[in-house]
A and B are shown apart, each in its own frame.
Chain A
Amino acid sequence: MKPVPIRYLRATTVDEAVTALARYGLDAKVLAGGQSLMPMLNMRLARPQVVVDINEIRDLMEIRYDPNARQLVVGALVRHQQLLESSLVHAHQPLLSAAARYIGHWAIRNRGTIGGSVVHHDPSAEWPLVTACLGAEFHVQGPQGRRVIPAADFFVTYLTTAVQAGELLTAVVIPCLGPGESWGFQEYARRHGDFALAAAAVTVTLSDGVVTAARIAVGGVADRPVVLSEVTQHVVGQAPTAQLEVQLGQWVYDAVNPLAESPDEQAYKRDIAAVLVRRAFRQAINRQPAGQ
């Protein structure tokens, strides 16, 4: 259980990292928090020749609030624990802090980064789900310069994203909660800290007792996070009654198509997805300021 022989390069700026990635091409791997890459190196599931360590790149470590665009600009190297504790995140997009709580354990969260998590793209991981739900944008820099990838195009399939070899993810730009918008996050795992069997993220905007906008996404039920836009359309325009919640569960059950080894397992996963979305929706409604 040791990595194959590798060569190590410590980049201290984004340009250095991009230059190194261009130079070593497919032989190189970016090393961020190492909480997914290092197990893969130890088990020799990954055998890169060169590891480009980005942990000393200061420019990637910051969470910034942009009040004009109402966005959080989260550097790729921001650790899970930093997102959990950040007062900017609590104030402007608390869904992120709620989700961070579910990632692994303290020692894992101290090292693991949002950039590493989304590029690694385990389809039951929290950051892919939440960034897909909120419609985040992914800033990437490579030999051809910079580009911005919307969430809808970012997650391709298991362990695969739109980030190409030679490219470095530099930041994830996440919309803040809007006025009148509230959120819910629910997850089910067999043991605390394990990867989720399924998870749900929901945001709801209410006006005069009616849902005027919503976002509903489920993780762990497909090869990438699933944003349920059609279900969302059914919900918009309705009052958030108990009956709507029951219907919502049914819509989700019908909309998701989890990969499973047996029909029973599939039904089970659909059930879990439906229940988690209902609960997350209820959480969001309960968080609405009184009088809405």
Chain B
Amino acid sequence: MAEMEAADMVVIDTVVNGRPVHRTVSARRLLSDFLRYDLQLTGTHVGCEHGVCGACTVLLDGQPVRSCLTLAAQVSGHHITTIEGVAEMPALPAATTEERVRHLHPVQQAFWEEHGLQCGYCTPGFVLTTIALLEAHPDPSDEEIRETLSGNICRCTGYRNIIRAVHRAKELWQTAPSTEGR
């Protein structure tokens, strides 16, 4: 077995929002900083940098994870979806022309309709977590929605509109079974 060297610079091959990305990064680079500084994908927000706020949530192979608790080096060989990728997901087949122009994913559409955000700092984390939830369980109960979103903190809305938005997203999702997220 070849002896392996620990390296301070790491070559990573990953797929971000469907596009292959090939970069060399410092071993200590956090995934959150890699997305924001190296790829200029600043939609991933950073609140606490120790895992409690959920603002930095991205999808790693479809599952919500904290990008502030992941090294960029770790995602080599894996798929990342950020909020920028959500904007590019297919719109609802039933979307109006205006909605298509806005390119809203059903979950974004629902947050917009139900005022599920104010300052928007927490929103990328909520939207990605909701997408992963509805992909896994298209018909979550109110209880399940609350439990799933309990790991995301919002300082503005008081959560009620966010919960309402997820219920609305569920309706939109169910009426659009062909909207397969990604």
B170: interface (CB < 8 Å): no
Assess the A105–B54 pair: CB atoms within 8 A: yes
Shortest distance between the CB of B78 and any CB in chain A (Å): 10
Complex alpha-carbon distance, A150 and B123, angstroms: 45
Q: Is A7 an interface residue (CB 8 A)?
A: yes
B157, chain A: closest CB distance, angstroms: 18
Complex Cα–Cα for A8 and B33 (A): 17
A216 to B63, CA, bound (A): 35
**A193: contacting residue among B1, B70, B150, CB under 8 A:** B150
State A162–B168 Cα separation when bound (angstroms).
Answer: 50
CB contacts (< 8 Å) of A55 on chain B: these are 74
- A88 interface contact, C-beta 8 A: no
Contacts of B119 in A (CB 8 A): none
Q: How large is the interface on B (under 10, 10 to 19, 20 to 34, 35 or more residues)?
A: 35 or more
User: Which A residue sits closest to B77, measured CB to CB?
Assistant: A56
* Contact of A38 with B6 at beta-carbon distance under 8 Å, contacts A5-B28, A8-B27, A111-B65 already known: no
Q: Which of A16-24, A253-261, A277-285 makes up part of the contact surface?
A: A16-24
Q: Does B50 contact A (CB under 8 A)?
A: yes
Complex interface: chain A residues within 8 A of B152 (CB): 105
Question: Which residues of chain B from 1 to 37 have a CB within 8 Å of any chain A CB?
Answer: 1, 3-8, 10, 26-28, 30, 33
Does A35 reach chain B (CB closer than 8 Å)?
A: yes
The complex places the Cα of A105 from the Cα of B68 at a distance, in Å, of 15
Interface check A42, CB cutoff 8 A: yes
Contact of B6 among A9, A34, A106, A108 (CB under 8 A): A9
Cβ–Cβ contact A106 & B7, under 8 A: no
Find A8's partner among B51, B57, B63, B71 (CB 8 Å cutoff). B71
- CB of A7 within 8 A of CB of B50, answer no
**A110 contacts B65, CB within 8 Å?**
yes
Report chain A residues within 8 Å CB of B68.
38, 42
Closest approach, in angstroms, between the C-beta of B6 and any C-beta of chain A?
4
Residues on B with C-beta less than 8 A from A31 are 71, 74
B66 contacts partner chain A, Cβ-Cβ < 8 Å: yes
Which residues from B are CB-within-8-Å of A41?
28
Measured between beta carbons, the chain B residues less than 8 angstroms from A107 are 54, 57, 64-66, 129, 151
B148 interface hit (Cβ, 8 Å): yes
Q: Does B73 contact A (CB under 8 A)?
A: yes
Tell me whether A24 and B6 are in contact in the complex, defined as CB-CB below 8 angstroms, given that A1-B49, A35-B69 are known contacts. yes
Interface of A is mostly: mixed
Contact B129 A43 (CB under 8 A): no
Asked if residues B49 and A50 are in contact (CB atoms below 8 Å), the reply is no
Known contacts A4-B28, A19-B3; decide if A110 and B64 are in contact (CB<8 Å): yes
Q: Which residues of the partner chain A approach B8 to less than 8 Å between Cβ atoms?
A: 5-8
Chain A 46-58, CB-CB to B under 8 Å as 1, else 0, gives 0001111101100
B1 touching A15, Cβ below 8 Å: yes
List which A33-87 residues lie within 8 A (CB) of chain B.
34-35, 38-39, 41-43, 49-53, 55-56
B50 touches A1 (CB 8 A): yes
Q: How far is the CB of A25 from chain B (nearest CB, A)?
A: 12
Instruction: Decide if B33 touches A2 in the complex (CB within 8 Å).
Output: yes
**Contacts A2-B33, A108-B151; is A16 near B71 (CB within 8 Å)?**
no
Q: What's the nearest-Cβ distance from chain A to residue B80, in Å? A: 14
| B71 CB contact (under 8 Å) in A4, A51, A106, A108 | A51
Q: What separation, in Å, do the CA atoms of A77 and B49 have in the docked complex?
A: 23
Docked complex Cα distance between A19 and B4 (Å): 9
A2 proximity list for chain B (CB < 8 A): 28, 30, 33, 49
Q: Is the CB of A5 within 8 A of B26?
A: yes
Q: In the bound complex, do residue A16 and residue B27 qualify as a contact, i.e. CB atoms below 8 Å apart?
A: no
Chain A residues with CB under 8 Å of chain B are 1-11, 15-16, 19-20, 23-24, 28, 31, 34-35, 38-39, 41-43, 49-53, 55-56, 104-108, 110-111, 192-193
Offer 12 A-B interface pairs, CB within 8 angstroms, sorted by A. Answer: A1-B50, A7-B27, A19-B3, A35-B69, A38-B51, A39-B69, A41-B28, A42-B50, A52-B6, A105-B54, A106-B151, A111-B65
Given contact pairs A42-B30, A56-B77, a sample of 11 additional A-B residue pairs in the complex whose CB atoms are under 8 Å apart? A3-B28, A5-B27, A6-B27, A8-B7, A10-B73, A31-B74, A34-B69, A106-B147, A106-B148, A108-B151, A110-B65
